[in-house]
Amino acid sequence: MSNNSLFPAGNRVRITSHGPFRGLNGTIRQIDSIVDDLEDPFCFYLIELERTSITEAIWFEYHEVEFIGTPSLSSSSQAVASTVEKRQGALV
């Protein structure tokens, strides 16, 4: 595993581990990696699960999740992005 393959916080993932959370989707809230000179970095993701009664995020190893998408922009975020693009276009 290389650092380039780490999923950034905010990305959406699916749990692939063999356990009670398998198949659930969630959002990465935090990343914790262990770097050892003998091996590639080892990483844990703190995942906020969707459609579950568990309110606290849960830690999963990097091989227990798969990428399913980036976070979608809310309408307010899209409006801010549109305003920034307009300002940048005016400067050019």
State the pLDDT at residue 36: 74
CB 47 within 8 A of CB 58: yes
Kindly list the domain boundaries of the chain, sorted by start residue: 3-91
The predicted-structure confidence for 52-85, as pLDDT tens digits, reads as follows 999 999 999 999 999 999 876 654 444 444 444 5
The structure's pTM equals: 0.69
Q: Which CATH number fits domain 3-91: 1.20.140.10, 2.60.120.260, 2.30.30.30, 3.40.190.170?
A: 2.30.30.30
> Whole-angstrom Cα distance, residue 74 to residue 21?
27
Kindly state the tokens that stand for 46: 């703190």
CB 46 within 8 A of CB 58: yes
| Residue that the structure tokens 């998408």 belong to | 69
